[in-house]
Structure 1
Amino acid sequence: MKSNVLHAMDAGQIPLKLVRTSQALDPTLVIAQPTFLAAIKLCISLGGFEGDKQVYGALGIDASHWTRIHRGEAHFPVDKLLALMDLCGNEAPLIWLAQSRGYDPASLRKRETETERALRFANEALEAERVKVRVLTDALHGNVT
């Protein structure tokens, strides 16, 4: 059986990776989902897509396999999970998995990137300099505490 998915390279187009801006997500909404499939459906729903075709097409999943996934007759491809969360702009499946394995979803946080770390250090150094300026300015004006 031939796949219904038309790959972008086959159509003479350059494939573009669609990534939505990350959205805030209430973990209690995710934890309320009874199954991993429900968490995946919530992830897609929160992504704001007009139809499933936008999702399975972007992920390169065959339409018939997608239908079986939604009916619970097939599993979502594990190697597409990260792409799904990027595509939808939320991490509902990750939060659901963490909770189901006994981890506290409220304690999950992203690691700091090198850029974020450098920015944090620069901001801390700047604040230290501002404190010095304030102390010296107060001392010059005779406001010693």
Structure 2
Amino acid sequence: MSAVSTDLNLRVRRPLRTIPEPDLAKLSSEARAVQYACENSGLQDKSIAIEIGVDPAVLSKAKAGQARLNDEALDALMDATGIEAPLFALLLRRGYDPRSLRRFETDVERENRQLRERLSSLETEREIERRTIRELMGARA
């Protein structure tokens, strides 16, 4: 006889809220990201703790950087608040731009890319000039 799971996933997923560009700098650590999500959710910490399945004291410690929420609780926090600040904090820490999920370019990488683009443009222009000269020389013959 097979066991039937009676666990229902009743997690509330609130609509995602955009994190304004200036606020990205506030997400320098997981603790600050948890704090940001809680403070900007419009919910009381006790309600958030209940929804994510942790003791309010654990949430308070996570906001202060004295404890860490497990992955399931972090995922539930983002669903409960509608704010993906912990995910953004991790992306920023790993060097990714959370708006595009691309790595940030360093100044050298940006300069290198711009120089490659300019070189490609010049090569295209030069090829057009060569073709034009060949056509003009062919027309005179």
Is the TM value for this pair above 0.5? Answer: yes
Paired with 2:39 and 2:9, the residues of 1 have a C-alpha distance of 24
How far does residue 79 in structure 1 lie from its aligned partner after superposition? 2.0
CA contact (8 A) 2:34 2:62 kept: no
Instruction: Extract unaligned runs of 5+ from structure 2.
Output: 1-5, 103-141
TM-score for the superposition, normalised by structure 2? 0.58
SS at 1:47 equivalent: coil
The equivalences for 1:49-88 within 5 A come to 49=43, 51-88=44-81
Q: Is the 8 A contact 1:43 1:91 kept in 2?
A: yes
Q: 1:102 maps to what in 2?
A: 95
> Quick one: structure 1 residues 75 and 21, their matched pair in 2 at CA, closer, same or farther if it must change by over 3 Å?
same
Aligned residues: 96
d(CA) in 1 for partners of 2:9, 2:72: 18
In the other structure, the counterpart of 1:31 is 25
RMSD: 2.4
Distance apart, 1:34 and its partner CA: 3.1
Q: Does 1:91 align with 2:84?
A: yes
Aligned equivalents of 2:71 and 2:9: distance in 1? 21
Kindly state the Cα deviation for residue 41 of structure 1 after the two structures are TM-superposed: 0.9
- Whether the 8 Å contact between 2:28 and 2:89 is mirrored in structure 1 is no
Assess if the C-alpha contact under 8 Å between 1:31 and 1:96 holds in 2. no
> Deviations along 1:41-76, whole A, 9 cap, x unmatched?
111222111x21101111110233233323322112
Gaps of 5+ in 1: 1-8, 110-145
Contact 2:12 2:80 in 1 (8 A): yes
Secondary structure (helix, strand or coil) at the match of 1:107 reads coil
Per-residue CA distance 1:77-132 (angstroms, 9 max, x = gap): 222111111111121111111111111122139xxxxxxxxxxxxxxxxxxxxxxx
2:12 counterpart residue number: 18
User: Percent identity among equivalent residues?
Assistant: 30
Q: Distance in 1 between matches of 2:101 and 2:54?
A: 29
Select the structure of larger CA radius of gyration: 2
TM-score (norm 1): 0.57
